[in-house]
Structure 1
Amino acid sequence: MALNRTYLDWNATAPLSAPARAAMLDALQLPGNASSVHGEGRAARAAIDKARRQVAALVGAEPPHVTFVSGATEAANHVLTPDFRMGRAPLAMSRVYVSAIEHPAIREGGRFDPARVTEVPVTPAGIVDLSALEALLAERDRSVGMPMVAVMLVNNETGIVQPVADVAAIAHAHGGLTVVDAVQAVGRIPVDINALDADFLILSSHKIGGPKGVGALVSRGEVLMPKPLIRGGGQEKGHRSGTENFHAIVGFGAAAQAVRENLHDRNAKIEELRNRLEAGMRHAAPDAIIHGEGVLRVANTCFFTLPGLKSETGQIAFDLEGIALSAGSACSAGKVGESHVLTAMGHDPKLGALRISLGVDTTEDDIARALAAFTKIAGRRKSAGEAA
């Protein structure tokens, strides 16, 4: 008999939502290419335009400022480049400053030479060190171009919310641009590109109940734009060429519209479940460490350490108990290694940690099953320690 499974890895990918699935099935019936001028092509174009409006509304942007791409990694490589244009005039970015807790897609620096990527430290609480950022920007050589600062709004491992508006204010005071990875934020907290004062936002469809393989780069305007990463037929107003991933874009739009609904009530329910989970974990294992619990986090994320339990061992143990969770980021081809986020926060790099992330379909029974597995694994760890 197959073991009942409990899915608690929503930060890695959210199950496809019913509105996204329905929209995609309808889109699959449309035969036209959105670049064609006949009726079928215009119908496909209209569906993409609708999705563009839906995604723009999710982050308070203008629809023309949404560029559809294959996902957040492509969006990062698109915008993290020293080559920009201000209208038709070339504009150089001298250096990119990335926080020490960024997703690998950002930490790599995109199309910047590695020598032009500067890491910004974080505090022991896991928050971008604003004083350090200010100092790094103040000491740069202003004669070689503009600086770019890339930070995430919500950390994918800890769930900690970053002071992005403050980061943007510092970057702009030094004549720079701000790129914000909002992948883990949309659908969990209100996100508005103007309120954040961000120049660019990076979004991913499959984190909010849309299909995998599609995302968006959202800009504040269209005067200042990066050199295209993919050139060819001029789709997406020349910002990203190639025939659009039509049905995925339509599904992304439907998911974006759905995730805006009842945000406050949905997250209140999720937070109640997470608090119940963490209280139970504390009861079962008083020595458990819940990272980021003392600062502002999104409601759905619990990143924890059971002392003496390695990440890979813990992930396998929970999986055998029917619980799907992650050991940090799930975007590294199945690799389980040390958490660069915990290292940046000053923890021992050998410290293992696991991430439970909840979603709209998470139930009280799911939490009960997770706690039963946690209690069993924590007890087994103690027994092994006593035997040793």
Structure 2
Amino acid sequence: MEPIYLDHAATTPAHPAVIEIMTDEMANTFGNPSSIHAFGRQAHRRLEDIRQVIAASLQVKPHEIIFNSGGTEGDNTAIIETALSRKDHGKHLITTAIEHPAVLETMKYLESLGFEVTYLPVNEKGDLVLSDFEESLREDTILVSVMYGNNEIGNLLPIKEIGKLLKTHQAFFHTDAVQAYGAEGILPHEFGIDLLSISAHKINGPKGVGFLYKNDEISLPSFFHGGEQEEKRRAGTENLAGIAGMGKAVELLTASEKQQRHDKYGVFQQVILTQLDKAEIEYQINGNPKNKLAHILNIWFKGISSDLLLMHLDLQGIAISTGSACTAGTVEPSHVLEAIYGKNHPAIKESVRISFGLGNDEAQIKEFGNILIKTIQKIKQ
């Protein structure tokens, strides 16, 4: 049996066109973009061409795109530099209990420096209740960081609504859009987003590269200190091959492509759920099926240890997960499921995440569903 990869929310395989352009870039455009000779000028032109492609995907100005190493750096830069540079305006920050560790751990760090952080709860479906946010907003709030789409359960958060509420407020608005960028049409200027983090490896691009969108209307110090790359906004020689790969991945993410993927992944979800229903497997979907990213399906299989299920599936060449790749391999329970159900709830140790992407087709999904059912039945014996 061919292996089946269904953990695209953790990372995605690079698209063949991405690999091709990166290989070409490394071979033919090796100059330092900061050098003034012909080799450097050639590299600089490529860098700026790609910046325009990425800016167009968000309908923002090229100058508002800062290339970096990925989502974690983007989150840290946006959150830490906003907090430290604006502490004279207040020391209150708002985020949610279901953020990626790149946000939550950064917030904990700022708490150790004397900042106050409000961690907004979610309801039983994993949704953020807007009234909770409104009640938490204060005059001394200087930053709101709310993810666009959750990486474990797929829920979409009320980004547009929060943007409207912050329109006349001093707080900067940051969103970790790492999981949502490849699936949703995101317009930072229209939605009131000041800062937005992206990782290329979630959209069939290379690992170790991403970008931070920063609205030109806000001021933010550089997180790194050194050279004057990225117009003094992010020191360090740019990873041109990686950036070129990311640019190609973005080019492939047209509006029609996003819609096709959304529809296809919706079919995949229904195929799996129909198979489970026919086999009379007891399960529950974690999160809100009517308000989520189509490529993520998080399921609670009642009475089945998620670790045991993953081990059995892995031995059969199938890759799914229990949640965030950044916490996998640890004994820590899912903070997202804890936020939904409370600590020590059985769903926390009996839930798995299935996520779709490049290379998956309906026949493969049906095969996965059959193996999943047989494995669950075997474990129950």
- TM-score normalised to structure 1 length: 0.90
Q: Are 1:355 and 2:366 an aligned pair?
A: no
Aligned with residue 299 of structure 2, among 304, 318, 331: 304
- Mapped to 1, the partners of 2:129 and 2:376 lie a distance apart of 34
Aligned length: 371
Question: Does structure 1 residue 120 correspond to structure 2 residue 120?
Answer: yes
Question: Equivalent residues in 2 for 1:234-273 (5 A)?
Answer: 234-260=228-254, 262-273=257-268
Q: Give the structure 2 partner of residue 171 of structure 1.
A: 166
Give CA-to-partner distance per residue, 1:275-297, whole Å, 9 cap, x none.
11122123334421111254311
Structure 1 pair 262/194, CA: closer, same or farther in 2 (3 Å)?
Answer: same
Q: Is the CA contact (8 Å cut-off) linking 2:167 and 2:192 kept in structure 1?
A: no
Checking the alignment, whether the CA contact within 8 Å between 2:7 and 2:321 is kept in structure 1 is yes
Show the counterpart of 2:45.
Answer: 46
- The alpha-carbon distance between structure 1 residues 305 and 33, as it changes in their structure 2 partners (threshold 3 A), is same
Q: Distance in 1 between matches of 2:375 and 2:176?
A: 34
Q: Secondary structure at the residue paired with 2:60?
A: coil
Cα distance in 1, alignment partners of residues 4 and 234 from structure 2: 38
Taking a change above 3 Å as real, the CA distance of residues 359 and 238 of structure 1, as seen in their structure-2 partners, is same
Write out the 4+ residue segments of structure 1 that deviate beyond 4 Å after TM superposition.
90-93, 347-350
Partner SS, residue 28 of structure 1: helix
Is the aligned partner of 1:211 residue 2:210?
no
Report percent identity of matched pairs: 32
Aligned 8 A contact 2:94 2:118 in 1: yes
How far is 1:325 from its partner? 0.8
In 2, distance between residues paired with 1:67 and 1:91? 26
Q: Judge conservation of contact 1:274–1:358 (CA < 8 Å) in 2.
A: no
Q: Which residue does the alignment assign to 2:106?
A: 109
Per the alignment, in what secondary structure is the counterpart of residue 305 of structure 1? strand
Q: Report Cα offsets for 1:247-306 as digits up to 9, x if no partner.
A: 111111111111225221232122212211122123334421111254311211110011
What CA RMSD, in Å, does the superposition of the two structures yield over aligned residues? Answer: 1.9
Q: Residue 99 in 1 paired to residue 99 in 2?
A: no
- Once the two structures are TM-superposed, the CA of residue 92 in structure 1 deviates from its matched residue by 4.5
Instruction: Identify if the C-alpha distance between structure 1 residues 38 and 91 changes in structure 2 by more than 3 Å, giving closer, same or farther.
Output: farther
Shift of 1:45: 0.8
Determine whether 1:56 maps to 2:55: yes
Q: Are positions 1:376 and 2:374 aligned together?
A: yes
Instruction: Pick closer, same or farther for the CA change 1:287–1:173 going to 2, 3 Å.
Output: farther
Give the AA of the match of 1:166: E
- The question of whether the paired residues in 2 share the 8 Å contact of 1:183 and 1:202 is answered with yes
Question: Whole-Å Cα distance in 2 between the matches of residues 95 and 314 of structure 1?
Answer: 42
Give the Å deviation of 1:20: 1.2
Corresponding residue number in structure 2 for 1:13 = 11
Conserved? CA contact 1:125–1:295, under 8 Å: no
AA aligned to 2:55 is A
Q: Could you list the runs of 5+ residues in structure 2 that have no partner in the other structure?
A: none
Q: 1:68·1:214 contact (CA, 8 Å) conserved in 2?
A: yes
SS at match of 1:187: coil
What does 1:195-234 correspond to in 2, within 5 Å? 195-221=190-216, 223-234=217-228
- Cα distance, 1:331 vs. partner? 1.6
Which residue type is aligned with residue 229 of structure 1?
A: F
Mean CA deviation greater in 184-193 or 245-254: 184-193
* 3-state DSSP of counterpart to 1:113: helix
Letter in 1 for 2:99: E
Q: Which residue identity is paired with 2:129?
A: D
In the TM superposition, residue 173 of structure 1 has moved relative to its aligned partner by: 4.3
Aligned to 1:386: none
Q: Could you tell me whether the CA contact under 8 Å between 2:127 and 2:287 is conserved in 1?
A: no
Residues 65 and 150 of structure 1, relative CA distance in 2, 3 Å threshold: same
Any conservation in 2 of the 1:7–1:325 contact (CA below 8 Å)? Answer: yes
C-alpha contact (below 8 Å) 1:66/1:219 kept by paired residues? yes
250-259 vs 285-294, greater mean Cα deviation: 285-294
Shift of 1:146: 4.3
* Secondary structure, counterpart of 1:345 in structure 2: helix
Q: Which amino acid aligns with 2:378?
A: R
